[in-house]
Amino acid sequence: MILSDADILRRLEEGDLVVEPLDDPDLQIQPASVDLRLGHEFLEFQRANIPCIHPGSEQEVSEYVSETVIDEGEEFVLHPGDFVLGTTKERVEIPPDLLANVEGRSSLGRLAIVVHATAGLCDPGYRGQITLELSNLGTAPVALTPGMRISQLVFTEMKNAAERPYGSDRGSKYQDQRGPQASRIQGDHEFGGDQRASERREDARVSPRNSEEFGGEGR
Ligand SMILES: Nc1ccn([C@H]2C[C@H](O)[C@@H](COP(=O)(O)OP(=O)(O)OP(=O)(O)O)O2)c(=O)n1
């Protein structure tokens, strides 16, 4: 069952579904979705010095991207063919019995702006801001402004709550992400991610940088 405006409000009031900051509920809560606004940070792939991205390589994909932060009132111009990672301004918490679909808005679709290339699901249990895979499929540059409504989330109530929701218990890589985050595909089990994660935990245990004595926060 897809949540209606009244269902969404009820779940928000009950507190297990979170969309924050929801500055203008009247504007943002649509008949069967919640409009999300564009954040200030963007990650752009550096075009030079990327021979090929190898998902299984030790080199983190984040090393290939550079961050641009746009001030309030400024524009980020997305040129035809561009692909950049953006973020929603809002942070969400999806309860274990809901699935959220990240969708575009028609008004931007008509300008050939799409908000995801392929990944449109927020899992039950997911917490964090949402990374947008922004592209301009058209022929004219389009100026995007932080704070504009760019995307919408549609919530589906599942027949049964997930038994193992998204989160640390299952090694979920993007839980509590803030701002746009590059792919962490190196963390996948297929690429030895479990091993690397346990090595990082081991390093963190023995590294003096991470001990309380040295004021470290750990990783
Ligand atoms: N456009 C999107 C789509 C999803 N997500 C967040 C919410 C999802 O719950 C989480 C993980 O998405 P996937 O399960 O599609 O991604 P992976 O399978 O790569 O991640 P993991 O291995 O952590 O499950 O990323 C996001 O920030 N932006």
Ligand 1 pocket: which of 83, 114, 122 to mutate (most atoms within 8 A of CB): 122
- Tell me if 97 CB under 6 Å of ligand 1: no
What pLDDT score does 56 carry? 81
- Tell me if 85 CB under 6 Å of ligand 1: no
Q: What is the pTM of this model?
A: 0.89
Distance (angstroms) between ligand 1 centre and the Cα of 212 equals 33
The span from the CA of 177 to the CA of 6, in Å, is 28
What pLDDT score does 200 carry? 54
Interface confidence (ipTM) of the complex: 0.98
- Tell me if 172 CB under 6 Å of ligand 1: yes
What pLDDT score does 203 carry? 58
The span from the CA of 219 to the CA of 203, in Å, is 9
Query: In DSSP terms, which residues pair with 87 in a beta bridge?
Result: 131
The span from the CA of 152 to the CA of 22, in Å, is 13
Tell me which residues of the chain have a pLDDT lower than 70.
195-219
